[in-house]
Structure 1
Amino acid sequence: MGTGKGRAGDRNFEIPRRGPRALDIGEEGQPETWEPTVSPIPERHPVPDRQPQEAPEPVTVPA
């Protein structure tokens, strides 16, 4: 049986580890760097003060 690292049936396959060689797939020997995309924080607009609303006229329902 394998060592638990990798695909079934392939004892020589190892899971790539994190580190300087983890993304070493660049062109001409240059390691590829990955920068996480930073989403801008949306601007928060203050909520306008709610104006008090007057109650509508009461409705009379004939019995």
Structure 2
Amino acid sequence: LTSILVRALRPVAKFLFPSVPLDHPAMSSILMTMSADMLGMGSAATPIGLQAMKQLQELNPDK
């Protein structure tokens, strides 16, 4: 079920985060967080969201 949501949310995430490559681990974490939130699993989405923030920081040129 989560993988179906991830595939459906990929275009939305690409629109919201155009500077993040689709094959970067941060995009996977973002998509997993979004799908977990949509399924009502907010407590499961929190650690994945924190992981996504760490991975996005790697892409940040203004550290």
Q: Tell me which interval the TM-score lies in, with the shorter structure as reference length.
A: under 0.3
TM-score (ref. length: structure 1): 0.19
TM-score (ref. length: structure 2): 0.19
1 or 2, which has the higher helix percentage?
Answer: 2
Tell me which of the two structures has the higher relative contact order, counting C-alpha pairs closer than 8 angstroms and 6 or more residues apart: 2
